[in-house]
Structure 1
Amino acid sequence: MKISELSKRTGASTRSIRHYENKKILSAVRLENDYREFEESAVERVRMIQLCLGLGLTIEQIQDLLKCEESGPEEYEVCDDVLEVYQEKEDQISKQIRALEVVKKRLNEQIVKMTERRKLKKTSK
């Protein structure tokens, strides 16, 4: 598939897809007319890259992750590094969730107060 179709199917810009290719985390075959031709598997690869970027991973960390996924058991050192990054990200996300739960609780308390005030104001008229 051409880069425009890959872009449509994944929501990634063509510029981002070219960047992924330049960073060697996505590959394409160059045709005689110099167009890029991507395999069907590129759709899942781009989605995985987007997910990782959304989690805050760097391109370098994604490169390590891909090496880990594509490596055999003899390359566990890379996988240990990736596992550590994943665990750190999970901890960060858990902290963010806890902080958001506190904010949500306070917001709900304010909503209850404002709703009660509105009811009191309406009944006092």
Structure 2
Amino acid sequence: MRIGELAQRAGTSTRSLRYYEAQGLLPARRAANGHREYDENDLRLVQEIRSLLEIGFALEETRPFVECLRAGHAAGDVCPASIEVYRRKLAELNAGIARLSEIRDRLAAQLETVSERKRPCSR
């Protein structure tokens, strides 16, 4: 299939596909006429990339998943490198959630303090 069809089937743009190609995530095969050619395996790679991007992964973080698929695995998250990315991403999320919880607690405490001090203003 050509780049436009791959983009349509994967739900992305041709520009994104070219970028994935430039980053080495998508193979760059050319037909005799110079047009890019893709197959169902390439569609699966792009779907994996898009799926991971949608849940907050950076493009570079998708590389182990793509490599796992290219190695012939049915899923991109069965290889040790992919699992390690999951672990690292989960740790980042947990740290972010902990930080946001701290901020929420501090704001709630501040609001409570302000509410207790609040007196009607007289003018």
TM-score, with length taken from structure 1: 0.58
Q: Which has the higher contact order (CA 8 A, sep 6+)?
A: 1
Instruction: Say if 2:37 is the partner of 1:37.
Output: yes
C-alpha distance 68-31 of structure 1, shift in aligned 2 (>3 A)? closer
Q: Answer 1 or 2: which has greater helix percent.
A: 1
- Provide the alpha-carbon RMSD of the alignment: 2.6
* Conserved 8 A contact 1:3-1:38: yes
Cα deviation per residue 1:60-110 (whole Å; 9 max; x = unaligned)?
2211333345459xxxxxx545323213434628x87xx9xxxxxxxxxxx
Alpha carbons of 1:12 and 1:33: their partners in 2 closer, same or farther (altered >3 Å)? same
CA apart distance, 1:21: 0.9
Aligned-partner residue type, residue 11 of structure 1: G
Q: State the identity as a percent.
A: 36
The verdict on how the C-alpha distance between 1:30 and 1:70 changes in structure 2, with shifts beyond 3 A counting, is closer
Report which stretch shifted further, 17-26 or 55-64.
55-64
TM-aligned CA distance change 1:38 to 1:58, over 3 Å: same
What stretches of structure 2 of length at least 5 have no aligned partner? Answer: 73-78, 101-123
**Change in CA separation of 1:68 and 1:44 when aligned onto 2, cut-off 3 Å:** closer
The separation in 2 between residues aligned to 1:71 and 1:37, in whole angstroms, is: 20
Which residue of structure 2 lines up, in the alignment, with residue 12 of structure 1?
Answer: 12
1:6 CA drift (Å): 0.6
Matched, 1:52 2:27: no
1:101-120 correspondence to structure 2 within 5 Å = none
Unaligned runs of 5+ in 1: 73-78, 100-125
TM-score (norm 2): 0.59
What number of residue pairs does the alignment pair up? 90
